[in-house]
Amino acid sequence: MRRIILLGLVLAIALAGCAQKEVVVFHAGSLTKPMQVFAKKFEEKYGVKVYCEAAGSAATIRKVIDLHRKADVVASADYSLIPKMMYPKYADWCILFARNEMVIVYTNKSRYVNEINSSNWYRILEKPDVRIGFSNPNDDPCGYRAQMVMMLASLYYHKPIYKKLVEDNSNMKFVLENGTYVLKMPPTTKLKINTSKIKMRSMEMSLISLLQSGDVDYVFLYRSVAKQFGLKYVELPPQINLGSNEYKNYYSKVEVILANGKKVSGKPIIYGLTIPLNAPHKELAIKFVEIIIKNPEVFRSLGQIPITPPLAENYSNLPSELKPLVKPLRGR
């Protein structure tokens, strides 16, 4: 009898341990809605709770490498941040799973809403009474991509667009170095912004409330986010929207050096994910990644283009369960 009781206690403890398991996902803000869908699918299939936490991608990764917080999955809006910031100590592979492009988002409250279009957008944004928004380039890829878009637009239209919108209203400036336009970001604590012209937040998603309240007129955001929130947006030429592989050489004319010294070059927008080497629940993390890979229609329904099949950097390091679902990354 005593033996049965002891076995019962052991089993109860084991079941309690399983019940306490929680898959932790740190992800880019622009992945908030897709991750909510994937979390629901995972919880329904495996009966394990998923905790999702959004932030700018660079800030997301710093939670793991600087704050030493444990995550089972890390997903970035710029796949290249994973090898740059997490290799080799915190991760040793990365899966490229979706694309996006930059747009300019607005509402009916925005000034000159009836005038702006894909040809005159920069002239509207340059008007003295128009307020623009973008996320902090040091924290969020959407922020440094906004800088790239404006600088590429300056080159494409042969107009001083970046100077009028950003340089004249902050201490951010592109400088031509060996044929490439380089923006060296000041530390966030030393950023100087004319807040009557520019509104900046750590994560791009935080700008949506400012837009909806009328505190800002136009915001640089991803096309998928605009569609998910039912926001109006101006489409930009493929030469500057960072959404076309055809113009990857043109995008490379610009680069941003973040305050932490990491360099990000202009390139097509591609999202990436990994399972950190110190992930607490690696087997469950693999199953969560499988859910993402096997349900590309989630991205399509939310305004993103899935990469099918996904591509893997450092393919040989992938968990064996994921290898049949992806292809090695080559020639990119």
Domain count, the chain: 2
Does 113 share its domain with 231?
Answer: yes
In a domain, 143, yes or no: yes
> What tokens does 198 get?
């520019």
In a domain, 225, yes or no: yes
DSSP conformation letters of 17-44 = HHHT-EEEEEEEGGGHHHHHHHHHHHHH
DSSP code at position 193: B
Q: What value does the mean pLDDT take over residues 213-220?
A: 96
Question: Could you tell me the CA-to-CA distances from 87 to 64, 269, 276, 330 in Å, in that order?
Answer: 12, 20, 10, 19
Q: Is 210 exposed, middle or buried (CB count within 10 Å of its CB: 0-12, 13-18, 19+)?
A: middle
Q: What is the spatial distance between Cα 27 and Cα 76, in angstroms, rounded to a whole number? A: 6
Of 243, 265, 287, which marks where a domain is finished?
Answer: 265
Neighbouring residues of 189: CB distance < 8 A, sequence distance ≥ 6: none
Does 31 share its domain with 58?
Answer: yes
Does 303 share its domain with 275?
Answer: yes
> Using 50, 70 and 90 to split pLDDT, how confident is the model at 20?
low
Does 115 share its domain with 221?
Answer: yes
Q: Which domain holds residue 222?
A: 102-265
Does 88 share its domain with 116?
Answer: no
pLDDT value for 5: 43
- Contact in structure between 137 and 169 (CB atoms under 8 Å): no
* CATH code of the domain covering residue 236: 3.40.190.10
Q: What value does the mean pLDDT take over residues 45-61?
A: 96
Does 115 share its domain with 209?
Answer: yes
Does 156 share its domain with 241?
Answer: yes
Q: Which pTM does this prediction carry? A: 0.90
When mean pLDDT is compared over 1-5, 44-48, 206-210, the highest value belongs to 44-48
